[in-house]
C-alpha cells in the first residue's frame, strides 16, 4: 500500500475547521493532520480539545504555530486554509512557493473578475503574483470543474450559498431552457454557523432565536461566484440571504421562468442527466422536495423542484449542510479528486 498523504489545517479552531479536522482524522488515505494555530486563535490554546471539548479523551490534538520549514520536515504536501479571506490572500503565495498544494476555504481566490472581487478590498503586497494566482486558482465545485481540480495546485473552495445556488441552476442554464429575460430570484436561508465562529450582535442568541432576518441584500459576497460560474449578468439574478434560528444547514428557494413549456419529467431528466455519476448530488423525484434535515451531517446537495401547470414557471429547492458540502466536506471532495481517489473517500 502506498504511503499515506500528510496534510495540515490552518484554522482548525473555527466551525468549518473543526468539521474538516474530524473528516481528515477518519480518512483512510491520510496520516493524522498537522493542526496549525493562528496567532489570534482562542488565546493561544495548545490543543484543539481545549477549544472543542467534544474531542477530549482521544489522545490529544496539539495546535502548532505556522512554520514553513517545519511543515516540510513533517512531510506535509497539502495545506487546508480555513482562515479569514485576508489571511488566505496573504498566505497562499507563501505556501505555493514552498511547494505545497492548497485548498482554501475562504473567498480569497474564488473570483476572476475584478468588479466581483472588489467587495473584499484586498490589498496585495505583490499585485503581479496575486494576479497570476487569481488566474491559476481553480474554482473547486467538483460537479462542474472536477477535471480541472484534479491537476490544480490551488483550489478555491466555493462559498456555501454559492454551492447551493450554482448546483441548482447549472443544469437548466447549460440546457438553455431558462428565460433569462425574466430574471432569476434566489431566496436563501442559512443556519447561524454560516456567519462563522466570531460572535456579533446579529448572531447573538437573543437576536437569532425565534427570529428570521434578511441581510446583505444586493451585495452579498457570494453573488460574484454565482454569476461568474453560471455565466449570468449581475442584473439577471436577485439573491437574498436570510438567517435562520438553527445551527447549520441551507435551503435555497429559486424562482425562474423557462424559455419553453416543459413537463416535470423533462425537467427531472435535465437534472438527472447533468448529474449522472455525480456522487454527492441527489435529485428528488417530484413532488417530493428537499428539506434542511435531509442533508444535515452529509456532503449531499439535495435538489428538487415544482413546475407550475403552465409548464413555464419553475421553483427549485436546493439544500446543503453549510459546514460540509458548503465547506469542509467539499474541501475533502476536492482533495480526493486532486489525488485520484474516489470522491466519497472519508465522506461516507
Residues designated catalytic: 160
- Cα angle 117, 119, 123 (rounded to 5 degrees) comes to 70
Which residue, chain included where needed, has cell 473570483? Answer: 111
- Residue 123 burial (10 A CB sphere; 0-12, 13-18, 19+): exposed
Q: What does the block give as the cell for 48?
A: 484543539
Nearest to 12 by CA among 23, 4, 2, 3: 23
Alpha helices in the chain (DSSP H): 15-26, 48-51, 68-73, 85-97, 114-117, 127-136, 142-149, 160-175, 205-208, 223-230, 264-274, 292-295, 328-338
> Rounded CA gap, 307 and 287, in Å?
9
Q: What does the block give as the cell for 231?
A: 455565466
CA–centroid distance for 212 within its chain: 23
Write down the number of H helices and E strands in the chain: 13, 14
DSSP-derived secondary structure letter, 234: G
CB 113 within 8 A of CB 228: yes
DSSP-derived secondary structure letter, 67: -
CB 163 within 8 A of CB 225: no
Which residue, chain included where needed, has cell 473567498? Answer: 107
Q: What does the block give as the cell for 70?
A: 517545519
Nearest to 99 by CA among 67, 125, 71, 132: 71
Q: What does the block give as the cell for 99?
A: 511547494
Amino acid at each position: 500500500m502506498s504511503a499515506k498523504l500528510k496534510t495540515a489545517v490552518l484554522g482548525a479552531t473555527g466551525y468549518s475547521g473543526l468539521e474538516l479536522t474530524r473528516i481528515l482524522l477518519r480518512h483512510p488515505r491520510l496520516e493524522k493532520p498537522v493542526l496549525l494555530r493562528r496567532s489570534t486563535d482562542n488565546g493561544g490554546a495548545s490543543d484543539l480539545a481545549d477549544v472543542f471539548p467534544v474531542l477530549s479523551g482521544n489522545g490529544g490534538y496539539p495546535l502548532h504555530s505556522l512554520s514553513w520549514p517545519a511543515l516540510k520536515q513533517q512531510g506535509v504536501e497539502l495545506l487546508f486554509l480555513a482562515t479569514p479571506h485576508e489571511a488566505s490572500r496573504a498566505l497562499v503565495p507563501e505556501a505555493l512557493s514552498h511547494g505545497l498544494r492548497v485548498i482554501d476555504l475562504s473567498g480569497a481566490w474564488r473570483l476572476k473578475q475584478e468588479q466581483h472581487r472588489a467587495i473584499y478590498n484586498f490589498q496585495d503586497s505583490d499585485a503581479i503574483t496575486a494576479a497570476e494566482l487569481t488566474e491559476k486558482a481553480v474554482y473547486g465545485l467538483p460537479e462542474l470543474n472536477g477535471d480541472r481540480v484534479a491537476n490544480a495546485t490551488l483550489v478555491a473552495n466555493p462559498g456555501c450559498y454559492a454551492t447551493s445556488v450554482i448546483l441548482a441552476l447549472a443544469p437548466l442554464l447549460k440546457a438553455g431552457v431558462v428565460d433569462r429575460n425574466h430574471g432569476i430570484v434566489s431566496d436563501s436561508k442559512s443556519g447561524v454557523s454560516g456567519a462563522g465562529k466570531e460572535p456579533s450582535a446579529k448572531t447573538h442568541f437573543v437576536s437569532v432565536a425565534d427570529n428570521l432576518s434578511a441581510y446583505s441584500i444586493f451585495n452579498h459576497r457570494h453573488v460574484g461566484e454565482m454569476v461568474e460560474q453560471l455565466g449570468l449578468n449581475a442584473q439577471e439574478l436577485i439573491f437574498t440571504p436570510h438567517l435562520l434560528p438553527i445551527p447549520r444547514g441551507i435551503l435555497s428557494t429559486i424562482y425562474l421562468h423557462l424559455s419553453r413549456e416543459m413537463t416535470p419529467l423533462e425537467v427531472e431528466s435535465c437534472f438527472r442527466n447533468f448529474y449522472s455519476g455525480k456522487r454527492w448530488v441527489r435529485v428528488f423525484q417530484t413532488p417530493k422536495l428537499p428539506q434542511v434535515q435531509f442533508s444535515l451531517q452529509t456532503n449531499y446537495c439535495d435538489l428538487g423542484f415544482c413546475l407550475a401547470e403552465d409548464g413555464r414557471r419553475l421553483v427549485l429547492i436546493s439544500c446543503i449542510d453549510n459546514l460540509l458540502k458548503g465547506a469542509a466536506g467539499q474541501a475533502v471532495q476536492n482533495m480526493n479528486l486532486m489525488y485520484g481517489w474516489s470522491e466519497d473517500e472519508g465522506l461516507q
